[in-house]
Structure 1
């Protein structure tokens, strides 16, 4: 895709110049870095559409730089690793951290061009706003989650993720996904399971992620059982998630006992945000930086007092609530620095809910108080219906076009794919 920016990081001048000449002839805009320090500086200045990163460099190896970007929330672009003598373990480690491919030196012309084209195309088409698992935090609760996922990463057994709404199931599923294989995550699980054969074809040799399986009707459960029966044949790793407790599922007579037994062999709980609230300031900054990088909002940063308020909040909606709040304040903030009052205004409805209507939210102008209630109301129903906008529209009594217009007005994000439902 001509015009796309590629950052080449390699300590060998001959390699840099050769790759640069080839890719510039293809119409790409090339930036060069001879070491990790220069790569950091360039990454801080702009978000490249692709990074070609050498593994072995004198000051800091490429895997360490990749891990640094991942932990700092800067791994928002595809990275292809390069090396002439890397071990399989090194390549696997880079993939686990977030690299999407690997080029072995000497690099063939066609291999280079096809890999670059595929990586950039994937970056353009991927509609994924999830934070990577590496950037979810440094607290003990997150470390334990990573440890458990690493233990099952190479297995083929289905995994069941358990947790509250908005905890980051997608990030966990993507962590278990192997690069350069299909990642299939249907927006409407119930509808997708009506055609299990089609779902199996789409996910063949890859990972199938079903976001909420705890409330499937009997027909969809039957479809899931058909998928489970053919996972091995199609070489698919299945990851399911539910916000219902195991006790609820076991006691639900409408939930097939055989299905429950099969999908719950490997259970991994995903911690709510309040159990690692010390990570909230970093997460908020990462989300804001990504919005600014993608030019969705003007330059914005949180003030210290605003970050403290975010840290002290309980986050009943977890990461999804944090993302929505940051996206809203990024659009509505008056200046470049987000002030405490602007954060408190958006946190007020949750505080009001917890204190039975007492507090500063009652002192807001009517229009602001109404917007706060409506935002909370619609977010509640979208979560309740697992993003099915047809059911949300029906439940709240609005025509769908009016609903979409209202959500956009309130700054509530929703998948564009739901427009086609």
Structure 2
């Protein structure tokens, strides 16, 4: 499972990509503008980014340049557009984008491109059979997988044991739903039930956030009147 940031000003595109990538087992963070994308990037480093070129105020190329100049372009970025020229795609690649997707995006093309991008992500860890895990040698988009006897992260044994008992023995979709429910219940607790704060923190639009919470069986009735 990878963390993927989707940056697009079109709600339909964000929701479609979220649905497809979530079904593939990934965790999706959505941003409708460069401002939201910056906030999410400051809080975390996603395994990859799907970045729309044409957005109001700050376009994708400008945001890509900004991340490159500030040293935040440490994950593979795939640009998206339905109106980009070859020159635009070439410029994006020159700045540091890994690939380019033309809208409307075909399902198989999307999944193939995402999988290819994750192979080059220095942060993403793909489990292997047995005791070995595949960790990525840091080196930006030229990172190469090397076998390691230890996982990239070293959580405590108690933490791993707790997760294993809770999630690892369940089917993927069921485990993901349980994790997401626990995650959002935790966010509601620490954010005082503020949908605005949770929306800003997670990068989910309020409409999509309410829909997700409802699907997870989380009661949001007390927040209906929140401004």
Q: 1:224 maps to what in 2? A: none
Residue 129 (1) aligns with residue 139 (2): yes
For 1:34 and 1:83, the matched residues in 2 are separated by 14
Gaps of 5+ in 1: 131-173, 175-182, 186-293, 297-421
For 2:23 and 2:16, the matched residues in 1 are separated by 11
For 1:20 and 1:112, the matched residues in 2 are separated by 12
Residue 23 (1) aligns with residue 21 (2): yes
Aligned-residue offset at 1:295: 7.1
Give structure 1 regions of 4+ aligned residues with deviation exceeding 3 angstroms: none
SS in 1 for 2:71: coil
Residue 63 (1) aligns with residue 61 (2): yes
CA RMSD, Structure 1 to Structure 2 (Å): 2.3
Q: 2:100 maps to what in 1? A: 102
For 1:105 and 1:184, the matched residues in 2 are separated by 28
Is the 8 Å Cα contact of residues 121 and 143 (structure 2) preserved in structure 1?
no
Q: Taking structure 1 as reference, are residues 107 and 42 closer, same or farther at Cα in structure 2, changes over 3 Å only?
A: same
Is the 8 Å Cα contact of residues 137 and 143 (structure 2) preserved in structure 1?
no
Deviations 1:198-251 (A, max 9, x none): xxxxxxxxxxxxxxxxxxxxxxxxxxxxxxxxxxxxxxxxxxxxxxxxxxxxxx
Question: 1:380-419 counterparts in 2 under 5 A?
Answer: none
For 1:37 and 1:128, the matched residues in 2 are separated by 28
Deviations 1:16-75 (A, max 9, x none): 000100000000000000000000000000000010000000020000000000000000
Which one of 109, 117, 121 corresponds to residue 111 of structure 1? Answer: 109
Q: How many residues align?
A: 135
For 1:108 and 1:33, the matched residues in 2 are separated by 21
For 2:29 and 2:11, the matched residues in 1 are separated by 13
TM-score normalized by the length of structure 2? 0.56
Q: 1:265 maps to what in 2? A: none
Which one of 34, 37, 58 corresponds to residue 35 of structure 2? Answer: 37
Flag the structure with larger Rg.
Answer: 1
SS in 2 for 1:76: coil
SS in 1 for 2:105: coil
Determine which structure has greater relative contact order: mean sequence separation of CA pairs < 8 Å that are 6+ residues apart, divided by chain length: 2
SS in 2 for 1:80: strand
